[in-house]
Every structure is written in structure tokens, then in C-alpha cells.
């Protein structure tokens, strides 16, 4: 728990939180080129700029769950369609990496986090 936070207190989501989750998603997808990463972050910032941060966070979760197959705009539209009926909010998982080589670990069945193969 962070210092000064009361038990059970929820912190207000902000734009920086949304972009942090997008960056985690890009890392999980294995985007290594910094220019590509910056371009994708700018695009996310543009798409999510005028959107409520809670809705933007749902869209980022949808985008990450798709393995990057959806654009940010498509994920945002799906989040809007779901409205208040969003699936149970779950904590974003940290990217899992091998402790020896640093390789991103992938699910052998569905290729999580990088794709939807096998589905």
C-alpha cells in the first residue's frame, strides 16, 4: 500500500495511468524499436485524449487482450459499446519475463500476450 493511503481507497485514474498501461502493452507485444514505441504512444495519446480515463483504461485492456490486433480506436469503440456492462475489472498483469535471459514468456496454447493463435 502506498504511504498515506487509507485501506480500501481507490486512486482516481488519470491520462498518465492510461499511457503507462499502453506502454506495458507495447512491451508485452515486444515492440523494441523506440521510434515505433513513441509513434504508438503518441497515437494512443491522441485517441484517448478527450475520453474519460476509466473508459480509456477499459479500451486499453481490450486492446491488450486482443494482442494488439485491434487499433486503439477499435478498442475504444468496443469499450463504448460495452458501456457500464464491462466485464469484471481485473488488475493489469505485469509482463512476465524469464529471470535468466529476459525473454517475454508466452502461453503455449494461446500465445498470450502476443497473439490469438490457437483460439
- pLDDT (tens digit per residue) in 78-95: 988 887 554 444 444 455
Asked whether residue 32 carries a pLDDT value surpassing 60, the answer given is: yes
Mean pLDDT of all residues in 44-51: 89
Our CA angle for 58, 59, 63, nearest 5°, is 120
Would you say residue 61 has pLDDT above 50?
A: yes
Beta bridge partners of 97: 104
pTM of the model: 0.59
Cβ-contact 78, 50 below 8 angstroms = no
Amino acid at each position: 500500500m502506498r504511504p498515506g493511503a487509507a485501506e480500501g481507497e481507490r486512486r482516481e485514474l488519470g491520462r498518465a495511468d492510461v499511457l503507462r498501461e499502453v506502454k506495458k502493452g507495447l512491451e508485452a507485444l515486444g515492440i523494441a524499436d523506440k521510434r515505433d514505441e513513441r509513434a504508438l504512444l503518441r497515437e494512443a495519446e491522441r485517441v484517448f485524449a478527450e475520453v474519460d480515463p476509466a473508459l480509456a483504461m477499459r479500451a486499453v485492456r481490450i486492446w491488450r487482450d486482443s494482442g494488439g490486433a485491434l487499433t486503439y480506436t477499435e478498442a475504444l469503440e468496443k469499450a463504448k459499446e460495452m458501456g457500464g456492462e464491462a466485464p469484471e475489472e481485473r488488475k493489469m498483469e505485469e509482463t512476465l519475463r524469464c529471470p535468466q535471459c529476459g525473454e517475454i514468456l508466452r502461453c503455449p496454447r494461446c500465445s498470450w500476450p502476443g497473439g490469438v493463435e490457437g483460439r
